Structure 1
Amino acid sequence: MLINLDFEANEPIYTQLKHQIIVGIAKKELVPGEGLPSVRAMAADIGINLHTVNKAYQQLKREGFIQIHRQKGVVVNPDGVPQAGEDHRTNLKKTLHPLIAESVCRGIGELEFIQFCQELFKEFNGGKGEGK
């Protein structure tokens, strides 16, 4: 999996790294049990501070995307990513709320917003609509 970071973006580097790893898992480019580079190796490979990588890894671990073992290193959660619970659904609504508000202010209607969402779901479901 190729990691591309935008050092000029407003989004923090650790967030970009975290999101790219999640995208890799969603697209099945990273599969359960697959190893990821160590914090030091990842930092060296992409030219960023190891504390930045560690912060991304710790958030991914806390959210159930990866596991960190002393012997095995960093691996994509072998049991798969935990399914969405009520907390995730609540956070999803909180995340979408300002995005939808801004879209309304900028003249993007409900159907166009939903179309964007459908296109993105297709991207992660191998070109097919409606996932699980």
Structure 2
Amino acid sequence: MFIELDLQSETPIYAQLVDQIVEGIASGALQPGDPLPSVRSLGEDLGINLHTVNKSYNLLKQEGFLQVHRKKGVIVQPDGMPGVTDAFEEKLRRQLRSLAAEAAVRGMTEAAFTQMSTSLYRDTITNRGGEQR
């Protein structure tokens, strides 16, 4: 599994790890049922505390992206990904509102902001082989 963490980033390491695993699932690099490294193994590989990895895995489990089994370990949710919920829509609205405000303050046009959002979404879909969810 390919994960790059920016230890100098203001974004907490656990959040970067969550984001990269979700991006791996979205791009198709991680398929339903794929095993993930153990908490200890991933922590050692990335040079981060195992509690940080554990926090990321637990958040992803709560969101429905991962399953944790005593015998199988951590696997990508084999029974379908979580759908769009009210909580997700609210989270997305908050994050987009903040990004839109910063883009506007920096002088980015609405068209440029929309085009970048569309392009990023389409790139993710393209990486999945055109599959839309």
**Normalising to structure 1: TM-score of the pair?**
0.93
Asked whether 1:33 is paired with 2:44, we answer no
How far residue 129 of structure 1 moved from its aligned partner, in angstroms, is 8.1
Match for residue 74 of structure 2? 74
CA deviation profile, 1:111-132 (whole Å, cap 9, x unmatched): 1001111111122111688944
Tell me if structure 2 keeps the 8 A contact 1:66–1:76.
yes
The residue identity in structure 2 corresponding to 1:89 is: E
Distance 1:130 1:50, change over 3 A: closer
Distance 1:55 1:74, change over 3 A: same
Over the matched positions of the two proteins, sequence identity in percent amounts to 47
The residue identity in structure 2 corresponding to 1:106 is: R
Distance 1:130 1:120, change over 3 A: farther
CA–CA distance in structure 2, aligned partners of residues 85 and 21 of structure 1: 20
How far residue 80 of structure 1 moved from its aligned partner, in angstroms, is 2.1
Tell me if structure 2 keeps the 8 A contact 1:3–1:17.
yes
The residue identity in structure 1 corresponding to 2:51 is: H
The residue identity in structure 1 corresponding to 2:17 is: L
CA–CA distance in structure 2, aligned partners of residues 46 and 130 of structure 1: 31
CA–CA distance in structure 2, aligned partners of residues 37 and 20 of structure 1: 14
Asked whether 1:14 is paired with 2:11, we answer no
The residue identity in structure 2 corresponding to 1:8 is: Q
CA–CA distance in structure 2, aligned partners of residues 131 and 76 of structure 1: 18
Q: What count of residue pairs does the alignment treat as equivalent?
A: 132
RMSD: 1.7
CA–CA distance in structure 2, aligned partners of residues 44 and 130 of structure 1: 34
Structure 2, unmatched stretches of 5+, are none
CA–CA distance in structure 1, aligned partners of residues 56 and 131 of structure 2: 29
Match for residue 51 of structure 1? 51
CA–CA distance in structure 1, aligned partners of residues 60 and 72 of structure 2: 16
Asked whether 1:97 is paired with 2:106, we answer no
CA–CA distance in structure 2, aligned partners of residues 130 and 2 of structure 1: 22
Match for residue 123 of structure 1? 123
Match for residue 42 of structure 1? 42
